[in-house]
Amino acid sequence: MIYERIQKGRFLKRPNRFIAKIEINGKEETVHVKNTGRCAELLVPGAEVFVRKSESAGRKTGWDLIGVRKADRLINMDSQVTNKVVQEWIEAGRWFKDVKIVRPKVTYKNSRFDLYVEYEEKKAFIEVKGVTLEEEGVVKFPDAPSERAVKHLKELEEAVQDGYEAYVFFVVQMKGVRYFTPNRRTHKEFADVLAEAAETGVQVIAKDCFVTEDSIAIADEVPVVLTNPQLYEAPELLVEWYRERKRDLPWRHHVNAYRVWVSEIMLQQTRVEAVKSYYTRFLEELPDIKALAEVPEDRLLKLWEGLGYYNRARNLKAAAQQVMEEYNGVFPDTFEEIKKLKGIGSYTAGAISSFVYRQQKPAVDGNVFRVVTRILEDSDDIMKASTRTKIERMLEQVIPAEAPGDFNQGLIELGAIVCLPNGEPRCESCPIRGFCLAYQDECQMDYPVKKKAKERRIEKRTILRFCDNEEIAIRKRPGKGLLAGLYEFPNVEGHLTQKEVIEYAKESGLTPVRVKKLPKAKHIFSHVEWHMTGYEILVDELEKEFQNPEIIFAGKKDLEKHYAIPSAFSAYL
């Protein structure tokens, strides 16, 4: 599109939406504003503008406002030109092939769409929107609420249902922008309906333009970010921060699927500092999948002793056996196949597939929930599966192809050392605080929202440490249920008195020499809480006296090396 009779001017003021006062050749002129949007960030006093002399002698305003210079960017402000440049672009064969008809202003139901196109054997409606609002390289529409725009979007959805193709074409009337996003702050309904329309088949396109003082033409595609532009901003800053600030952790060296897998399973429900020594010990004894698949269960549980949640260890072994049997000992290398392994969910599969195989899959743990919900001020309950699915979907759209592992680890690291769960987050150290909504609104501690869990059941137990000078009595727990298959000190429900402990010992065939009261202790499981009291019962010859076939008599060294005693009993070891 070429303009004629263009003059340079200086903006003075805008008395109303339709006219502006502009100095042209040293004289104040009344100029018609062809863009009725607010344009407040463009039309500032003193701005360099470009106007066109009208050919119509009878008009009250002899000039039309065409463009404005904002810093070093030239922006076309002519809202009436956008349909023409798109039509020219289509007719030049730059979009559709074998175009038969391009018709402007076509009525469909209760709307008049900007363009109707027939090409090949297809029919399409196109709604064109000019975009002039730019903030730090991000362009947005609308700059004022537009109920008409919402109506058109809804009827484009109906057109799709009726078999038409439908497009919303955002013509960005400038060059060199980063991305387009709907202006949720100005018109939330439009932003929501645009995202809904895209999900139902309406195609959303944005193109920037070559703009000069006297011309405008469609140029290059602009990324469209329909929801959560804050997340779109994050990858570059987050990856750079992670690479500079990441902690030196053993599983970040010599990275392979097996090492990452073991570390991620250990880190579930367990602090990083606590895992380090366990991880090193585990890898020294079980350096690969084959060794893990073949390790005896008692030895496996002993290596796991102190980490808790022992089914994690059993699932590790079961999955290792699965890899040996189903994948010929080679760890699978796709998210979908990894997720088929025993004990692996979407988080662990995402971690392995992104850290090791560089696949664009999210890895959402508690740290990531915290970071993302604070960035977006998302108040959905993170305990709901739908919230996890939503956040995984949002992240998958922004994971950078060149650094998926560093992006995911950056989110996790940020949650672990900056965006803290307890106490004040260290926002001054956060690389993405500039677009974190919770930081802007000073409500970081309101997120994430987590529905209060059902109160844990309280169980009172008495722990009985039967021993002589050489051995201690232990027993193996049942193969199913809490702490399944692990070893424990004999214990009973309720809190026994010393007299009741002596009676219990005698009923077991023991003759106590001395009974010593041990400290009280508490251990918290996911759904139950043990409140424990304990006694040490010294007898002469433990193995000869104890009349219980389930009891195992272990020397202190054997107890340390061979029997996995869960941390629930650590106060009585």
Q: Which residues are catalytic?
A: 264
β-pair type (203-212, 457-467): unpaired
CA–CA distances in Å: residue 129 to residues 152, 155, 208, 215? 11, 16, 12, 18
Angle among Cα 189, 194, 195 to the nearest 5 degrees reads 105
Residue with tokens 């570059």: 236
What is the 8-class DSSP label of residue 488?
A: E
- Which residues are CB-neighbours of 342 under 8 A, at least 6 positions away? 315, 318, 319, 322
Find residue 130's DSSP bridge partners. Answer: 171
- Are 214 and 51 in contact by the 8 Å Cβ rule? The answer is no
Distance of CA 332 to the CA centre of its chain: 24
What is the 8-class DSSP label of residue 173?
A: S
Phi, psi at residue 154, to the nearest 5°?
-65, -35
Phi-psi region of 228 (alpha: psi -120 to 50; beta: other; left: phi over 0): left
Q: Which two tokens stand for residue 50?
A: 């470009």
Residue with tokens 């769960």: 421
State how far the Cα of 226 lies from the Cα of 184, in Å rounded to an integer: 10
β-pair type (215-221, 27-33): unpaired
State how far the Cα of 481 lies from the Cα of 164, in Å rounded to an integer: 58
Find residue 381's DSSP bridge partners. Answer: 449
DSSP conformation letters of 522-542: EEE-SSEEEEEEEEEEE-S-H
CA–CA distances in Å: residue 303 to residues 45, 160, 256, 358, 563? 74, 60, 21, 31, 10
Return the C-alpha torsion angle 345, 347, 350, 353, nearest 10. -70
Sheet holding 111-119, edge to edge: 99-108, 111-119, 122-131, 165-172, 203-212, 215-221
Q: Which two tokens stand for residue 438?
A: 């919770």
Residue with tokens 């329909």: 226
Q: Is 494 exposed, middle or buried (0-12, 13-18, 19+ CB in 10 A)?
A: exposed
State how far the Cα of 295 lies from the Cα of 405, in Å rounded to an integer: 31
Nearest C-alpha neighbor of 68 from the set 16, 18, 133: 133
CA–CA distances in Å: residue 407 to residues 334, 340, 355? 18, 24, 9
Phi, psi at residue 83, to the nearest 5°?
-60, -40
